[in-house]
Structure 1
Amino acid sequence: MPMSLFRSTANSNNAGSALRSPAQRRISAPVSIRLSTITEGANAGQPDTGVNNTRQSRSHIRSLDNVPDSPGRLPPYRQASRSSAGGRSQDTGRTAPPAYTWVPDPIEGEEDLRAPVEGEKLAELRRNGGHLRKARQRGGWGRAAVVAVVVLLVVGLAVGLGVGLTAGRKHQNSSSADQAGPSGATSPDNRTQVFPLGEYSLLTNLREVNTSCTSNPATWRCYPYTVFNPTDGTTNTSSAATFNWIITNTSSAYTTNTSSSTPSEGIPANLTISSTNNPFSIMFTNQSLTYISLASNTSSPRLTFNFTQSKSVIPSTSITSNGATAECFFNSTDFTGTLYLDVPRTYPDGQEAQQDSSTGGFEQWPYAVEISQASPGGQDVPACYQMINGGVGDRILTAGTAMSEESRCLCDYRNY
C-alpha cells in the first residue's frame, strides 16, 4: 500500500496547518554548491515583490549562506574557503575589473601596415647575424674591392686625359707659332692666328673702270666713283675702297703660305671667305677658296674665289624721258677675289699704312689683293626699271642698245 504523502492530526484547528513543510534533507556538498550559486543573488533575503506583499515568500531550498556559521556543519573545503575569505560568501563578492580591450596605436598616413614593428625588425636583425651578415649578403668585401678598383680607374683616366689635353694644347700653340704669318696675321688682342685665318680689312684703290658692255656709260658705275691717279695725290683717299672679309677653315688640314706647289687650276684650300656689310652691296657667305701655287712661279701662292651676282647700279644721269629715277641690273656679273700669300702690297704706304693698320677691328691684309666685277654685253644688258616710292616699277626700253657678248664692263680694285 502506498505511503501517504500527508499526515493529519486531530488536534489541529487550522485548516492551513494540514499542509506541512516536508522534512529537511541534507544535500550533498557538490549539489549544495551549485544550488548556492543559483539561488544566491542580489534579491536574496529581500521581501517578495509579487502581488501579495503581506507575507514573505518561503523558500523550501535555502542557501548554505543562510545556515548558521557552524564549522561542524560545513564541509572541510568550505571551511577553508570561508576561513581564507574571512567571512561570509557575501563578504567575498566584489565587482569584476573592466574587460581588457586592446586599442591599437594611431596609424600615420605614410605608415606601411605590412611592415613589422621596430622591435621585430631589431629581433630579426639579431637572429640573422646583424648588419655584418647583411653586408656579406650584399657583396661584402668583394663588392667594396670592385668599387675601389672602378674609382681608381676613373681617377686615372681623368688624370691621363688632363695631361694629354695639356700636351696637345702646347703642341698646337707651338705649331701655330711656326705657321703664323707676319704681324698682320695677329688679332687685335695680340693672340696669334694661324695665317690665313682671321678677320681682315683689304685696303684698295679703284684702279680701272670699263663701260664697254653697255651703250649708255651712265648705267655702269664703280664705288667710290673716283679712279686712282698716281699723278694726283688727292685720289689716294678719294679712290680708296675697303673690303672687310672673314676667312675660316672647314678642316683641320688647310693650306697656308708655306704649302707646296699645285697644278695650274689649283686645289681646294679647305677655307671659306665671307663678307660683312659694305657700301658696294656685295654680300656673300662661306665662298670656298682655291689654293694656287705654281712651281714655275714660287713667289705667287694665292687664294682665289669667284661667283656670279646681279650688280645693281643707279645711273649717274637720268635715262628716262620724264626724268624719273631709274635702277639698272647687270644680272651676269662675275665677282672675283684674289689674295696673294707672298707678294708685297704698295698701298697704302708710309704714314697712311700706319694709320690704316686696322679698320673697324679687322687686321689689315699684309699682302697684295685683286678684286674685280666684270659683266659681259648682250641682250638685256643692262635691264633698267623706273623706281617708284623706292620700289621697282616699269621697264625702261629706251635705256640703250645691246652690245656684243665679247664686250666687258669692269670695276678693278688693287692695293699694288
Structure 2
Amino acid sequence: MAPMPPIAEDEVVGKPMVLPRGPLRIPQKTRRGPMNRPAPPPYVPAPHPSPPLYKEDTMSDSSSTSGFASIKLENYKKWQDESGSDDEGDGRGSKDRQWFGSRLGRWLKFGFLALMAVGIVVGLAVGLTFGLRDKQSSDGSNDTDSSNLYPVGSYSFESTLQNISTACTSRSSTWRCYPYSQGSNATFFWSISRSGSSYNVSSSENPFAPSFSNKTATLLDQGKPTERLSFAFDTSRTIIPSEPITPTNRAAKCTYSSTLFQATIWTRRSGGRELSGIDDLLKRKAGRKFVAWPGDVQVFQMRPYKAGPPNCEDTDGNKITDIQGGYGDCSCEYSSF
C-alpha cells in the first residue's frame, strides 16, 4: 500500500472543479416511437345496479308459476327503467317539448271542432226560425188557425133572443132586450186571449150590448165534450124606453145598476152535440177577424128586484119618480141552441 502524500497545514486547498452545464437535449423521435407509447388505461364501465336475483321457482302449480313469472317480468322492467334513467336524462327535455307540442296541437284541433259545432248549431237555429216564420206567413196563419191556440182568437157569436122578463120594474117599456123581439137573432163580437193558464175575454164596440175588456174566463171540464169557458161581471145597463114615460112626452132614459152579465162559451159542443173538425174549420177561416164561433154560446143578463127601481130621468136631467121597482127579476136570455 502506497503512502498518502503529506498535507501541509499552510497549504491552500483548491476548489473542486465544476463542470459547465450544457443545454438540455430533447430526445429525438424515432420511427418506432408509436410502438413504444404506453397502452391506454383499461375501460371500466360505469357502475349500474345489477338486476335483482330471485330464487328459482320450484312450485309445480301452473297458476303459481305464471304469477311468479309476471312478478319477475315486472321487476325486470323496473330494473331496466332504473338503469336507463341516467341515459334518458339528456333526452328528457326534448321529450317534454314534444309532449307539449302534441298536447297543444290536440287542443287546437278540439277548439276548431268546437267552433265548427257552435257555428252549425247557430246556423240551424236561425234557419229554422226564419223558415218557420216564412211558412206561417205563406200559410196566412194567425192565432186562430192552430189547434194548440184554440180557442184564442176573435169571433162572432151568433145567438137567438130566447126569453125576456120585465118583472123588476113597474113599467115594462123601461126594460128592453136587443133585438127587442123574442126569437130574433143577436150577434156578439168578442175576442178571446190567453194569459198563462187563464183566458180573458173582451168585447168590441156595440151599442146594443155591454162593452167590457179583459174579463177573466174560467175553463171548465177541460178535455171533455162539455168543455166551456165561463165569465161573469156586474155592470150598469142604460135603456131608452120604447114609449114616453113623462107627462110631457120628453125623451128619457133609465139606468139599471147592479146588472149581472154572464156568458158561457162551449168549445167542444155545437147544437147540443159534440163538435168535430174544429181545426179544419178554423184553418179555412184563417186570416179573418171575427170568424163565426163553431160551438155553442149562451148569454144571460139579469137585474134582481132587490137592487131597487131603475134610475130614470129626462134629457134635462130631471128625475122621473113614478117608475117603481117590481117583485121579480128582469132578464134577457140568449142562446145558440
How far, CA to CA, are the matches of 2:129 and 2:301 in structure 1? 44
Question: Paired residue for 1:369?
Answer: 297
2:146 aligned to which of 192, 199, 203? 192
Look up the match of 2:194: 249
Equivalent-residue separation in structure 2 for 1:395 and 1:219 (angstroms):
14
Q: Which letter maps to 1:192? A: S
In structure 2, the residue matched to 1:218 is 173
Q: Distance in 2 between matches of 1:169 and 1:398?
A: 69
| Offset at residue 166 of structure 1 (A) | 6.2
Q: Label 1:409 to 1:304 Cα distance change in 2 as closer, same or farther (>3 A).
A: same
Asked whether the 8 Å contact 1:309–1:331 carries over to 2, the reply is yes
Q: Does 1:272 align with 2:200?
A: yes
Please name the residue that 1:207 is paired with.
Answer: 162
Deviation at 1:170?
9.3
- The equivalences for 1:270-349 within 5 A come to 270-293=198-221, 298-345=224-271
Change (3 A) 1:370 1:167: same
What are the superposed Cα offsets for residues 329-369 of structure 1, whole Å, 9 maximum, x if unpaired?
110100001001222138xxxxxxx9xx98x8411111111
CA distance in 1, matches of 2:130, 2:162: 45
Amino acid at match of 1:163: L
Offset of residue 378 of structure 1 = 3.4
SS state at 2:124 partner: helix
Instruction: State the AA in 1 paired with 2:161.
Output: L
CA positional deviation for 1:160: 2.5
**Structure 2 gaps, min length 5:** 1-107, 273-280
Tell me how far apart the structure 1 counterparts of residues 168 and 238 of structure 2 sit (CA, whole Å).
15
TM-score by length of 1: 0.45
1:198 and 1:187 mapped to 2: Cα distance?
12
Cα deviation, 1:191-214, whole Å, max 9, x if unaligned, reads 435210111110111111001111
Quick one: percent identity of the two aligned structures?
Answer: 30
Q: How does 1:9-28 map to 2 (within 5 A)?
A: none
Matched, 1:383 2:316: no
1:159–1:299 CA distance, 2 compared to 1 (3 A): same
Question: Which has the higher Rg, Structure 1 or Structure 2?
Answer: 1
| Secondary structure of residue in 2 paired with 1:367 | coil
Distance 1:188 1:279, change over 3 A: farther
Q: Structure 1 residues 156, 385: CA separation in 2 closer, same or farther (over 3 Å shift)?
A: farther
Q: Aligned pair in 2 of structure 1 residues 310, 190: CA closer, same or farther (>3 Å)?
A: closer
Deviations 1:293-352 (A, max 9, x none): 189xx4311100000000010011111111111100110100001001222138xxxxxx
Provide closer, same or farther for how the CA distance between residues 368 and 329 of structure 1 changes in structure 2, counting only shifts above 3 A: same
Normalising by structure 2, what TM-score? 0.54
Q: How far apart, in 2, do the equivalents of 1:342 and 1:205 lie?
A: 20
Whether the 8 Å contact between 2:188 and 2:209 is mirrored in structure 1 is no
Contact 1:205 1:240 (8 Å CA) reproduced: yes
Aligned length: 211
